[in-house]
């Protein structure tokens, strides 16, 4: 068993890891949880459950390694296993649809967007946040991990348990969907998004 090789931490070490390596990520964890659940109480529960699991399995965490990625992986798995089930949204269907239709690694990068930089810069309100929230959970997740939290493709692959090629293609598709949303907002704001 692999756990045998890993030394057990003393209570003092556990507390130190928990306070200095785990707790500093609580803001990011809560932001992620909130954007997955859209509910303050669910987000709190999800973060709390994640930290309790992290403490329970602290011996399988190697001190000084990437605690943030380790915690995000636990949170994402808890969300899939527990919260998604009780969610009112038909996200299970949603998820399978994504898996079936969008998981090919071949993406068309030539799909150009006529969205203007100026139009995006003028979105000072909640447009970008609403656009992000409107994406299916798998697309939303990759954008949160990459653009909000700054994870590398390799870290994302580990957090999501998918190959790097899939990370790359899912991210590209997610950004295209986000741009579609932003384009429709830009049109409502009176921007001319047609190419002249």
Partner 1 sequence: MDKNRNKSSESGKRKLNCSDESKCFELLESILDGEETSSSKEILDEKLAKCQPCFEHYHLEKVIREILKNKCTKQMVPAELADSIRQKIQEIK
Interface residues toward partner 1, by CB under 8 A: 11, 18, 23, 26-28, 30-31, 34-35, 40, 44, 47-48, 51-52, 55-56, 107-110, 112-113, 115-118, 120-121, 123, 126, 128-129, 132, 143-144, 146-148, 150, 152-153, 168, 171-172, 175, 178-179, 182, 196
DSSP alpha helix (H) spans, 103-163: 117-121, 127-134, 137-143, 153-160
Nearer to partner 1, 48 or 60 (CB): 48
Closest distance of CB 92 from partner 1, Å: 26
> How large is the greatest C-alpha to C-alpha distance in the chain, in angstroms?
68
Measure the CA–CA gap between 100 and 177, rounded to whole angstroms. 17
Question: Between residues 91 and 156, which has the closer beta carbon with respect to partner 1?
Answer: 156
Angle at 107 between CA 105 and CA 108, to 5 degrees: 165
- Cβ at position 96, least distance to partner 1 in Å: 27
- Cβ 132 vs Cβ 179: under 8 Å: no
């Amino acid at each position: 068993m692999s756990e045998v090789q890993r030394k057990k931490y003393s209570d003092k070490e556990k507390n130190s890891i928990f306070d200095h390596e785990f707790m500093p990520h609580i803001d990011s964890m809560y932001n992620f949880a909130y954007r997955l659940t859209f509910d303050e109480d669910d987000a709190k529960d999800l973060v709390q459950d994640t930290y309790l699991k992290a403490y329970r399995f602290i011996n399988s965490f190697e001190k000084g390694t990437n605690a943030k990625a380790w915690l995000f992986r636990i949170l994402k798995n808890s969300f899939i296993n527990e919260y998604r089930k009780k969610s009112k949204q038909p996200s299970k269907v949603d998820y399978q649809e994504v898996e079936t239709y969008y998981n090919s690694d071949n993406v068309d990068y030539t799909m150009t967007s006529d969205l203007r930089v100026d139009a995006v810069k003028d979105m000072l309100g909640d447009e970008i946040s609403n656009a992000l929230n409107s994406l299916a959970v798998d697309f939303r997740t990759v954008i949160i991990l990459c653009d909000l939290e700054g994870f590398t493709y390799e870290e994302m692959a580990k957090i999501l348990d998918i190959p790097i090629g899939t990370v790359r293609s899912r991210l590209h598709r997610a950004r295209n969907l986000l741009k579609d949303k932003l384009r429709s907002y830009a049109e409502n704001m009176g921007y001319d998004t047609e190419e002249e």
